[in-house]
Amino acid sequence: MTQSLTVQNLTAHYGATKVLEDLSLSVGKGELVSLLGASGCGKTTTLRLIAGFLEPTSGSIRLGDKDLTRLPAYKRDIGLVFQNYALFPHLSVLDNVGFGLKQRGVAPADREKRAKAMLERVGLSQLADRLPGALSGGQKQRVALARALVIEPPLLMFDEPLSNLDAKLRVDMRVEIRQLQRANGTTSVYVTHDQEEAFSISDRVAIMNAGRIMQFDTPETLYQRPANAFVARFVGFENLIPMTVVARDGAVVTAEAAGGARLKLSQERFGEIADSFVLATRADGLAVSTDPKAEGIPAKLGLRTYLGRAYQYQADTAAGQLIANGSLSAPLEPGAQAKLVPMPDQCCVLKPE
């Protein structure tokens, strides 16, 4: 029976080093939540704490109404899928899948039936008698998935499950994982450093940095409305422009960037705007204009690269180096003067760092 997971105020240390700080996370029944971040951000530590391979300094972990915090790992009943598959090399594929059932005292005949049915679901029934060494990476990961799913765990966790596979297989496998997870309705925690992977299969994503969750939201919200500069950079907002409010007229705020470029922003769209803030845009959100009357940040264009759908410019401005995409119809040469015009519907207003 699938359960919801509640992690509260989890703090953990490696020796004297604090690796997780006051981390709270809740995963609803049947939800797939990803922990996303660079290596060393604490995402794997969080997973290992939930699995019971590490002990937290403080905080609690609950699965449904069961308190896992001090329960030994082998009693937690969590299905795990590892980056390096971690199949038992000396057992056949069928025995690998049946291992968890055996620990639960399922009778051999029933065990074999259920393991075979699970292998059928991941499309590997013809390999049941092979040893793991004879399988390809993708097949191994399918066996690992079957092994974790067959015990019908209340919680399923993935630790970078696709990192060792090639790009094409990675995309196929993540679709497959998501389908199986949906079909079973198993609450899942998925650890990855790959943003595309996390966004594509998750209901919600927790972006982590230095042992903390920076933002925990749906992929859409994270991608379009990052809550802080770290997340903004993480999801690809190349331009973070510090601005100061110089005039307020009802809901409309006039703000100025370094070098005097002015911009009008509506508080109806961006919410309350503080006197000093950071305007974040992607390269696509900065239009390159050669119209001298355009209201934008004066820039001297540098290197131009071809993206296929646009030309991308490295631009020197009073607000620092910015990146902007210009139209394909009018390529500009390095050294040209232009205005970079932020497009409000592609901008975010963030607190200064």
Partner 1 sequence: MMTSRINPLLILFAVLVYIFLMGPLIIVLGASVSDTTYLTFPPQGFSLRWFENIFAISAFKRTIITSLELAFLATGLALLVGIPAAYALNRYRIKLPTWLSTVFVLPILVPEIVLGFSLLKSVAVGMQTPIFLTLLVGHMLLVLPYCVRVVSASLASFDFSIEEAAVSLGSPPLKTFFTIVLPNVRSGVIAAFILAFITSINDVSTSLFLTGPGVSTLPIQILAHVEQFFDPTIASVSVLLMLLTVAVMAIVERTLGLTFLAK
Residues that bind partner 1 (CB under 8 A): 51, 53, 72-80, 82-84, 86-90, 99-100, 103-104, 144, 147-148, 151
The token duo for 320 is: 């620092």
Q: Partners of 79 in the beta sheet?
A: 156
Query: CB 155 → partner 1: shortest distance, Å?
Result: 11
Rounded to whole angstroms, the Cα distance separating 73 from 51 reads 6
Amino acid residing at 71: L
Question: How far, in Å, are 30, 44, 336 from residue 49 at the CA level?
Answer: 20, 8, 55
Query: CB 82 → partner 1: shortest distance, Å?
Result: 5
Element housing 61 (H / E) = strand 58-63
Report the SS3 class of residue 123.
Answer: coil
DSSP secondary structure string for all residues of 229-255 = HHHHHHTT--EEEEEEEEEEETTEEEE
Q: Are 28 and 5 in contact (CB under 8 A)?
A: no
Decide whether 83 or 289 has the Cβ nearer to partner 1: 83
Decide whether 158 or 277 has the Cβ nearer to partner 1: 158
Decide whether 192 or 281 has the Cβ nearer to partner 1: 192
Decide whether 81 or 232 has the Cβ nearer to partner 1: 81
Query: CB 154 → partner 1: shortest distance, Å?
Result: 13
Decide whether 190 or 277 has the Cβ nearer to partner 1: 190
Decide whether 108 or 260 has the Cβ nearer to partner 1: 108
Query: CB 74 → partner 1: shortest distance, Å?
Result: 5
Return the closest-CA partner of residue 313 out of 295, 331, 296, 290.
331
Query: CB 254 → partner 1: shortest distance, Å?
Result: 56
Decide whether 48 or 339 has the Cβ nearer to partner 1: 48
Query: CB 164 → partner 1: shortest distance, Å?
Result: 12
In 83-132, where does DSSP find H-type helix?
93-103, 108-121
In the chain, where does DSSP find H-type helix?
43-51, 93-103, 108-121, 137-149, 167-184, 195-201, 219-224, 229-234, 267-270
Query: CB 96 → partner 1: shortest distance, Å?
Result: 9
Query: CB 37 → partner 1: shortest distance, Å?
Result: 20
Decide whether 107 or 175 has the Cβ nearer to partner 1: 107
Query: CB 128 → partner 1: shortest distance, Å?
Result: 18
DSSP state of 133: G
Decide whether 72 or 308 has the Cβ nearer to partner 1: 72
Long-range contacts for 113-122 (Cβ within 8 Å, ≥24 apart)? Answer: 114/150, 115/146, 115/150, 118/146, 118/149, 118/150, 119/93, 119/94, 119/143, 119/146, 121/146, 121/149, 121/180, 122/146, 122/176, 122/180
Amino acid residing at 181: Q
| Cα-based angle 53, 184, 143 (whole degrees, multiple of 5) | 60
